[in-house]
Structure 1
Amino acid sequence: MGFKKGNMQKSMIEGNTLKLILNFSIPLLLGNLFQQFYNVVDAAIVGQTLGSKALAAVGASSSVQFLILGFCMGICQGFAIMVSQSYGAKRLDEMQTYIYAGAVWTAITAFVISILVVVFCADILHILQVNDEIFNDAYAYLVVIFAGIPFTLLYNYLSAILRAIGDSKTPFFFLAFSAVLNIGLDFFCILVLKWGCAGAAIATIFAQAVSGILCLLLIAFKVNVLHVPKSSRYVDKKHSVKLLAMGVLMGLQFSITAIGSMVMQSANNALGTIYVSGFTAGMRIKSLMMCPFDALGAAVSTFLSQNYGACKLERIHDGYRKGVMVSILYGVFACVVMVFFGRILSKMFVSANESQVLNASALYLRRMGYFYPILGILITTRMSVQGLGYSARAMLAGFVEMIARCIVALCFVPIFKYNAITWADQTAWVAATLVLIPLWISTMRMVQKKMC
């Protein structure tokens, strides 16, 4: 089977490295920004209309959302790596089998995890030490988010396989449309229907469902290379083992990192509503400022994955070097923004008269900003290792991040309170980067031996 004219796929095994990576990453960046916009709009509307306590309720479970949703989305990304490698090697029959098997395993994952976390939602919030003052709102928000996991993964799996064949623009267009829809639904559900925090979650899930359905329709009618013929519609042990090995390891890497964040958030929740609100506002801005890193890392990962399938070692080296260079440059820019404008940005979520909350958010952002160039190196290197198929190594770096955050949360927060919280992420980033760089070097040696 060959490549069909008119499809929207884009091969990255030939052409200017930096141009390909940047062209691929720009739609990803815009898509990430719109996806973060879901969270930003939720938090901004909740904080400005329902107050800081409601904002704390929405933010009190952000780490566990990252744990659960991160695992699910990591699985999707891992499945897409197998699709990308097969696409780069031009083994399209194999690619289509991976697509079908990946869809089956994604559906199973979505429904099983959704049922489990909905049932145990209240217990999860108790583990996070969410106080009684905000517990009911936090539960209403989180249970809707968990119930909508199948819709969230519908978009994430389909967009992942579109990106695996070089199409980063289409997922962005659909996500942009659903972001606008989400804004309107936020206002309608919160201000008109008076559904409170649950309304913000309903708006988000509905918008994600729309973006997933649009991806499905586009693939069905336009993207011929992703159509799976009857001969490839089966789930066997060989393909499932490879998919699950890659997907589960990537999912665990997200989750292991999130466990450290959960421990940190639990420690912060015990400090009181002011610090929960400040931390929530800071986390929203942190996630927004991380979008370019995530987009660039995903672009480099896809670039390396396709070129690994095509056995082009020098392009792998070149793609990584240029990805790290751009990450560091953006990290310096992000540092300036967060250090000097963190308090101003926090006013998107917090009323100007709540000075204590604004001060807490600004302190968190300022101290974090200094380390953003290191975060860029970490994310690009980790996703490069994943793109080459060595997810276990990336998971090790995630484990180091988890340990570092747990040490700060358990040993230093009881002594230094919120001051320790504001240094926890940076400690984790530095520790993980020191582990990951040697792992990248040894990974490249292994890749070189395989290609020789």
Structure 2
Amino acid sequence: MQKTTNDMTQGNSMKLIFQFFLPILIGNLFQQLYSFVDSMVVGKGIGDVALAAVGNTSSVHFLILGFAMGLTGGLGICISHSFGANDIEKLRKEIAMSVYICLAIGIVITVGSLFWMRRLFVFLQTPEDMMTDTLVYFGTILAGSTVTIFNNFAMTLLRSVGNSKVPLASMIVSSVVNIVLDLLFVFPFGMGVFGAALATVLAQVVSALYCLVYIRRAAELLPRKTDWGADGVLLGALVGKGLPVAVMNSVTAVGGMVLQVFVNQMGTAYVAAYAACMKVCGLFEQPGITLGLALLTFTGQNYGAGKYDRIKQGVRAGVVLSVLVNLPFAALEIFCPKLLASLMLNDATVISYTCIFLPVTGVALFALGWLFVFRNACQGMGKTVLPMVSGIVEVAMRVMVVLLLAPRLAFRGVAFAEISAWVGAGVMLMITYFFYQRRLSGKTPDVRG
């Protein structure tokens, strides 16, 4: 039987991070693959306007559900500290309180978002010819948001205790389910964008149930009856760690929404091209995101154990791995943008617009990878406020650059606005990490986190 937990406070840092990172990368690529296939099915099976409608939801999706996913990631920081310190009593209690937090956030997001959804897309100046598909698709996604939140928490919990293989398997299974249901719902059943969204929600259900099977096998991860009593102090501590990460995600999404407004003003053809570019970027940024998650767990466990020198080793390994894993993806964006876009789009003119955008983001992919390394290293040490501020830096850079360059460079200006956010926030996070690391030098280990 597969071991559910994995101690990362001892052993070769590079080897541990790579072994932990690889399954998450494969899993995240599978998850992004079904998002990519979803776009292919929608674009080829329904049309470019439908693809534009689905892509138009991406920044709002990250604003709303990104908040919840950031919160679950923050909860994982506390859990990894307790696991690293071998404080099983606190670990179980944190898991129980985290379940309450996830349930509350899921209900609030579902009810509140459905109420404000139309107003938000009108504010974003969504073209009228894609408004109906946009609302149908995103409304279905929001209806299943509680399931999505619990699925993300289940995977975060397993990763926080060093298990990246079960989340890998769950994402592979859910990816296959999503792709099969996508093809079934859109083509023979003719359910349109509703079918594509429903397939995504059902795949999340399958993933959550798969993770739960393995969580139940680890006694240290199962709260006892007494652990379910509400603990205001612990709830406050968990929210205090998770809220800055959640806010960072949502603030970052605001920058994406600003860019979406500029693209929407260019017309449906550019919206479709931008949607395809964002799908490619979402797929190709997965190595950086994944490496960040590996650093988050590694740093969190070693911070909880008071092994501060190992954090330095882990971050150095992360920087090297980031360059290596991003090389092939950057090359594809720079040299093969037309090929990538043609997998989702039909119109040659729309495809040509993606060739303006993708080479720019491909060049800056390395900066994005380092951003994830340093952001997650800081968060793993329990320092979530300044990484939250880095989200504000991202928004500021996107807004300033798009206002400056979009009138002059049009769609290429939007691309430069995107990568400026990566560079600006990355520099800030690098400085932040070294500041925190200097404060740790010579510090007596403190397992309170």
- TM-score tier, shorter chain, comes to over 0.9
Match of 2:280 in 1: 285
Q: Is the 8 A contact 2:287 2:369 kept in 1?
A: no
C-alpha distance in 1, partners of 2:142/2:443?
A: 42
Determine the structure 2 residue equivalent to 1:168: 164
Q: For the Cα contact (< 8 Å) 1:178–1:208, is it kept in 2?
A: yes
The alpha-carbon deviation at position 32 of structure 1 amounts to 0.7
Residues 132 and 96 of structure 1: CA distance in aligned 2, closer, same or farther (over 3 Å)? same
- Give structure 1 regions of 4+ aligned residues with deviation exceeding 4 angstroms: none
- 2:341 paired with 1:346: yes
Say which is worse superposed, 182-191 or 405-414, in terms of deviation: 405-414
Q: Tell me the alpha carbon deviations over residues 395-443 of structure 1, each in whole angstroms, 9 at most, x when there is no partner.
A: 1111100111112333432343212112111111111122111111111
Percent identity of equivalent pairs: 33
Aligned pair partner of 1:304 in 295, 299, 305 = 299
Quote the residue 2:185 is aligned against: 189
Q: Superposed, which structure 2 residues align to 1:22-421 within 5 Å? A: 22-220=18-216, 222-351=217-346, 354-421=347-414
2:425 corresponds in structure 1 to 432
Question: What is the CA distance between 1:198 and its match in structure 2?
Answer: 1.1
Query: How many Å separate the matches in 2 of 1:122 and 1:194?
Result: 24
Q: Distance in 1 between matches of 2:34 and 2:151?
A: 14
The alpha-carbon deviation at position 101 of structure 1 amounts to 0.4
Amino acid at match of 2:168: F
Q: Distance in 1 between matches of 2:273 and 2:254?
A: 21
Cα distance per residue 1:223-255 (max 9 Å; x no partner): 222111123222212211110011111101111
SS at match of 2:336: helix
CA drift of 1:449 comes to: 5.2
Please, what is the CA RMSD of the aligned residues? 1.4
Structure 2, gaps ≥5 residues long:
none
- Unaligned regions of 5+ residues in structure 1, if any? none
TM-score, normalised relative to structure 2: 0.96
Which AA in structure 1 matches 2:62? F
Provide the rounded CA distance (Å) in 2 between the counterparts of 1:404 and 1:432: 9
Amino acid at match of 1:306: Q
Deviation at 1:6, TM superposition (A): 7.3
Amino acid at match of 1:12: M
Please tell me whether residue 10 in structure 1 is matched to residue 6 in structure 2. yes
How far the C-alpha of 1:362 sits from its partner, in A, is 2.0
Write the deviation string for residues 289-316 of structure 1: whole angstroms up to 9, x where unpaired.
0111111110011001100011111101
Deviations for 1:147-190, whole angstroms, at most 9, x for unmatched residues?
11011011100111111111110111112111111111111111
Q: CA deviation at 1:273?
A: 1.1
Please state how far the C-alpha of 1:38 moved relative to its aligned partner.
2.7
Cα distance in structure 1, aligned partners of 2:234 and 2:443: 21
Distance of 2:89 and 2:441 partners within structure 1: 27
